[in-house]
Amino acid sequence: MTLGSGGSSVVVPRNFRLLEELERGEKGIGDGTVSYGMDDGDDIYMRSWTGTVIGPHNTVHEGRIYQLKLFCDKDYPEKPPSVRFHSRINITCVNHETGVVEPKKFALLANWQREYTMEDILTQLKKEMATPHNRKLVQPPEGTYF
Amino acid sequence: MGGAGDSSESKVSNEQGQGQGEEGSVVINIRCSNGTKFTVRTSLESTVGVFKSVLAQNCDVPADQQRLIYKGRILKDDQTLHSYGMQADHTIHVVRGFAPASSTPAPAATATATAAAGGNPDTTTGVTRGVGSNEGGAFGLGGAGLGASLFSGLGSLGGGASDLEQVQQQLTQNPNMMREIMNTPAMQSLMNNPELIRSLMMSNPQMREIMDRNPELAHVLNDPSILRQTLEAARNPELMREMMRHTDRAMSNIESTPEGFNMLRRMYENVQEPFLNATTMGGNAGNDSGSNPFAALLGNQGGNQVRDASNNPSTTGSEATGGLAAPNTNPLPNPWNNAAGGTQTNSTTRPNPAGNVRASGLGGLGLGGPGLPGMESLFNGMPDSNQMNQLLQNPAVSQMMQTVLSNPEYMNQMLNFNPQLRSMVDTNPQLREMMQNPELLRQLTSPETMQQMLALQQSLLPQLRQQSTQEAAQPGAPTGTPNNTGLEMLMNMFGDLGAGSLSAPNQPNVPPEELYATQLSQLQEMGFFDTQENIRALRATAGNVHAAVERLLGNLGQ
């Protein structure tokens, strides 16, 4: 929507961009099926974030809450944040050992553009859970973590 | 939306609630997972637990099932909203989750009661409300019984021989063991599947009839969350006791209201009798409730209600004659007594399976008792070997069995629980060794072996059933030649193994994608991308990946 709308002419600096995302996360602006916020409100670089994805309906993920860690390094949003599942999940784009969302297998990270937001990542991951090859995979018990 | 002005504003508001002087309450936006939104006014100093109960009044998710998400974090009950940096106009997401597993007994018990009351569609008068909570309580226990019997199905895989009740008795008297079993991942995955339990219930025609006749009841039974709660409760003996106490309290309070007794009587007539009929009918029709596999299982439910009723007539009876209208302050018939002595009651009435159902009603906690014959007969009553095969090949089932079987400790414990089996094992050290060799067990439980066993068992079935009836009639008294008994034990064991795991997805109408999910993903990883073809191959090979691969490759070669 409005995020990065001025991007063509004005490059939104990292801090403003993250503050904007923070506000959207806190106020639940957006499609409201994902939630995210900063881990440490005192970190002036706003690097470490927590996100949750609520499992989409009609999938094995339904009713589950997946927690993720997102880390926006100094080069965000030029470079994608690193994204890691905290809650155990079995989907193709997530490393089974570490929970890291592997950019090679997750198009949004592979073809990252600076207009993309963490919300986009989370909603895309949610869509990923609902894809035919992921929606019926046997999942580890709920409440287990990487 | 995202103008620069907004951003700087949020920067200010982000400074951990400093400007929060505005007399306590702020407006918080709530978004439910089903898409509804509303706002709530609350103090930021209130704890998440309190906040949840506020939310429960505004949405259909009971407090103990709410999971709140804010800033990507799941909020914990004992923290304050403020501690999460909550601000005015911020948004919290509400997701319906499962009742917390490790909840403290008392609050959870009341929460269950309220949940049940809330779940009852016609909670208009005080009286019906009371009944609502009573239902909650009774079914709570019923569910617990279900859980117990599910588990007993499992338990019997070690002690699968004839003297099942004894095993159970010991288990019910050992809450720790029970909890341990309930906490195994296998059990948990079972419990997380209320669908399954419901399908178990729904497959009993009598049960279905009752549900048709009593919409309220059906509602309770159909509510997966209630079922789940009750199963959770089964895991926690304290919680269960607490729930039973609540039920008794509620019942006595209802009785003291003017219409209360009639209400209870109606309830008894409407709900309990059909229940009992449903269960005992099954028990009478075939020995050992053979023809109605679910009878015993569900008998727990009916039985529970009997418990309430059987307590009540004693008190109400005296009230009626004495004309007392005052609230009953007498101590209630000791519910704990029942809980502890339940299994004893069971064992005294053991010879009669139907009586058993009733006894378990008295026995509150002893409900697991009849569950096992139920399981056993479930197997016997399942002539469709295809169904069984399907079941045995189900990855979830085999996974579950493996968890149980791969733990020699566990097997040991189970073996020791059953005196008869133990004596058998003692006289035959080889057998013990065998039983404790996980490798061998795995082999034994491989789908192929199971199939063979199944075939064998089916041929032996008539004979077997006869024997088991005999044994049910006089447990402990060894019947047949020792050799025969041993064989039967083994057979039973495997029967129960299968039957116990029936609780796993035994839905014949499970789509093959789901049924063979793991195999499919394996095949996919191997590079077979045609899902349809894969499914066909898996179907043809009954889920055997290796065979499926061979088949697929064979097709390619042609």
Of A25, A27, A56, A118, give the one whose Cα is nearest residue B37: A27
Any chain A CB within 8 A of the CB of B95?
A: yes
Do the Cβ atoms of A35 and B72 come within 8 Å? yes
- Please answer whether residues B260 and B177 qualify as being in contact, where contact means their C-beta atoms are separated by less than 8 angstroms: no
- Please answer whether residues B171 and B417 qualify as being in contact, where contact means their C-beta atoms are separated by less than 8 angstroms: yes
Q: In this structure, are strands B25-32 and B73-74 parallel, antiparallel, or unpaired?
A: unpaired
Do the Cβ atoms of A19 and B10 come within 8 Å? yes
Of B549, B501, B510, B544, give the one whose Cα is nearest residue B528: B549
Any chain B CB within 8 A of the CB of A103?
A: no
Of A33, A37, A137, the CB nearest to B71: A37
Q: What is the reported pLDDT for A100?
A: 94
Listed in sequence order, the residues at least 6 apart from B388 whose beta carbon sits closer than 8 Å to its beta carbon are B379, B382, B454, B498
Domain around A131: 51-135
Residue A137 pLDDT more than 70? Answer: yes
- Please answer whether residues B436 and B412 qualify as being in contact, where contact means their C-beta atoms are separated by less than 8 angstroms: yes
Q: B322-333: buried (b, 16+ CB within 10 Å) or exposed (e) per residue? A: eeeeeebeeeee
Q: In this structure, are strands B66-70 and B91-96 parallel, antiparallel, or unpaired?
A: antiparallel
Of A23, A27, A50, the CB nearest to B73: A50
Q: What is the reported pLDDT for A42?
A: 83
Residue A80 lies in a domain: yes
Total-model pTM: 0.36
Q: What is the reported pLDDT for B453?
A: 61
**How far does B516 lie from chain A, in Å, by closest CA?**
10
Q: What is the reported pLDDT for A103?
A: 92
Compare all CA atoms of chain A with the CA of B14 and give the residue at the minimum distance.
A41
**Tally of structural domains, chain A:** 1
Residue A23 pLDDT more than 80? Answer: yes
Record the tokens describing residue B553, joined without a space: 């490759």
Residue A84 lies in a domain: yes
Q: What is the reported pLDDT for B416?
A: 58
Per-residue pLDDT band for A80 (boundaries 50, 70, 90) equals very high
Residue A11 lies in a domain: no
DSSP A91: -
Average pLDDT for residues A59-83, to the nearest whole number? 91
Do the Cβ atoms of B71 and A25 come within 8 Å? yes
Per-residue pLDDT band for A88 (boundaries 50, 70, 90) equals very high
**How far does B186 lie from chain A, in Å, by closest CA?**
9
**Kindly report the CA angle at B198 between B196 and B201, in degrees rounded to 5?**
115
Domain ranges for chain B, please list them.
23-96, 105-321+332-382, 512-557
Do the Cβ atoms of A142 and B69 come within 8 Å? no
**How far does A94 lie from chain B, in Å, by closest CA?**
14
Residue A3 lies in a domain: no
Distance (Å, rounded) from C-alpha B532 to C-alpha A82? 36
Q: What is the reported pLDDT for A101?
A: 93
Helix (H, G, I), strand (E, B) or coil at B291: coil
- Within 16-45 of A, beta carbons closer than 8 Å to B belong to 16, 19-20, 22-29, 32-33, 35-38, 41
Listed in sequence order, the residues at least 6 apart from B462 whose beta carbon sits closer than 8 Å to its beta carbon are none
Distance (Å, rounded) from C-alpha B501 to C-alpha B506? 9
Q: Give the ipTM.
A: 0.81
**How far does A16 lie from chain B, in Å, by closest CA?**
7
Residue A69 pLDDT more than 90? Answer: yes
Q: What is the reported pLDDT for B136?
A: 35
Q: What is the DSSP string of B468-493?
A: HHHHHHSTTS--S-HHHHHHHHHHHH
Q: What is the reported pLDDT for B457?
A: 56
Any chain A CB within 8 A of the CB of B11?
A: yes
Average pLDDT for residues A6-26, to the nearest whole number? 80
- Within 363-402 of B, beta carbons closer than 8 Å to A belong to 395-396
Rounded to the nearest 10°, the torsion over CA B153, B157, B161, B165 is -30
Compare all CA atoms of chain B with the CA of A3 and give the residue at the minimum distance.
B2
Helical residues (DSSP H) of B156-236, grouped into ranges? 164-172, 175-183, 185-191, 194-202, 205-213, 215-222, 224-235
Residue A32 pLDDT more than 90? Answer: no
Record the tokens describing residue A77, joined without a space: 């949003």
Using a CB-CB cut-off of 8 Å, the residues of chain B touching A16 are: 4, 7
Residue A117 lies in a domain: yes
Q: What is the CATH number of the domain that holds A55?
A: 3.10.110.10
Per-residue three-class SS string for B510-556: CCHHHHCHHHHHHHHHHCCCCHHHHHHHHHHCCCCHHHHHHHHHHHH
Listed in sequence order, the residues at least 6 apart from B535 whose beta carbon sits closer than 8 Å to its beta carbon are B512, B513, B516, B520
Residue A59 lies in a domain: yes
CATH code assigned to B512-557: 1.10.8.10
Do the Cβ atoms of B72 and A68 come within 8 Å? yes
CATH class of this structure's domain B23-96: alpha beta
Average pLDDT for residues A25-49, to the nearest whole number? 84
Do the Cβ atoms of B69 and A27 come within 8 Å? no
B85: left (phi > 0), else alpha (psi -120 to 50), else beta?
left
Using a CB-CB cut-off of 8 Å, the residues of chain A touching B531 are: 132
Q: Give residue for tokens 């679910």.
A: B294
Residue A31 lies in a domain: no
Low-confidence ranges of chain B (pLDDT < 70): 1-24, 98-207, 209-211, 213-228, 230-237, 243, 247, 249-251, 254-260, 264, 267-510, 555-558
Q: What is the DSSP string of B403-467?
A: HHHT-HHHHHHHHHH-HHHHHHHHH-HHHHHHHH-HHHHHHHTSHHHHHHHHHHHHHHHHHHHHH
